[in-house]
């Protein structure tokens, strides 16, 4: 009985920990697409993984999640199934790109900045809200 309880505790602890299963982006387009797709699907943990983690970006991501949660069940489902429509990828230099896109749900034109930092392609989400950065 003692071994059964210990085994169950170990199993429960292992189930509670989700391993990082995200694949590092190979280029700016991959990072931007993964970030945008994660936001549309409501997977903000994944979106955060593909984003530069500074206080401004985290604040914008938190607001995006709050907005996502205001949609009813049908609205969230439409976002999850929306396709990403990339209209242009503008390479500023070898470590910076701007991705212009919309999605099939609301078709609002948006853009994200993707930068390469310490060998990783990451979204600088604050650029979406302040393109002068």
Residue 4 belongs to a domain: no
Residue 86 has pLDDT above 90, yes or no: yes
For 94-128, write each residue's pLDDT tens digit. 999 999 999 999 999 999 999 999 999 999 999 99
Per-residue confidence band for 9, with pLDDT thresholds at 50, 70 and 90 = low
DSSP 70: H
Q: So what's the pLDDT on residue 130?
A: 83
Q: Among 29, 56, 28, 60, which residue's Cα sits nearest to residue 44?
A: 60
Residue 12 belongs to a domain: no
Residue 13 belongs to a domain: no
Residue 88 belongs to a domain: yes
Parallel, antiparallel or unpaired: strands 110-117 and 96-103 = antiparallel
Q: So what's the pLDDT on residue 129?
A: 87
Residue 63, domain extent: 26-129
Percent of the chain with pLDDT over 90: 79
Domains: count for the chain: 1
Residue 6 belongs to a domain: no
Q: So what's the pLDDT on residue 17?
A: 47
Question: What's 34's domain CATH number?
Answer: 3.10.450.50
Query: What is the Cα–Cα distance from 61 to 47, expressed in whole angstroms?
Result: 8
């Amino acid at each position: 009985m003692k071994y059964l309880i210990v085994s169950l505790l170990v199993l429960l602890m292992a189930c509670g920990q989700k391993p990082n299963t995200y694949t590092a982006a190979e280029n700016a387009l991959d990072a931007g697409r993964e970030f945008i797709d994660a936001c549309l699907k409501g997977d903000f943990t994944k979106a955060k993984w593909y984003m530069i983690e500074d206080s401004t970006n985290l604040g914008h991501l938190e607001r995006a999640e709050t907005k996502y949660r205001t949609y009813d069940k049908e609205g969230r489902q439409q976002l999850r199934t929306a396709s990403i429509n990339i209209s242009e990828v503008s390479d500023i230099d070898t470590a910076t790109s701007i991705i212009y896109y919309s999605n099939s749900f609301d078709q609002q034109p948006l853009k994200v900045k993707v930068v390469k930092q310490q060998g990783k392609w990451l979204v600088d989400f604050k650029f979406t809200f302040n393109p002068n950065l």
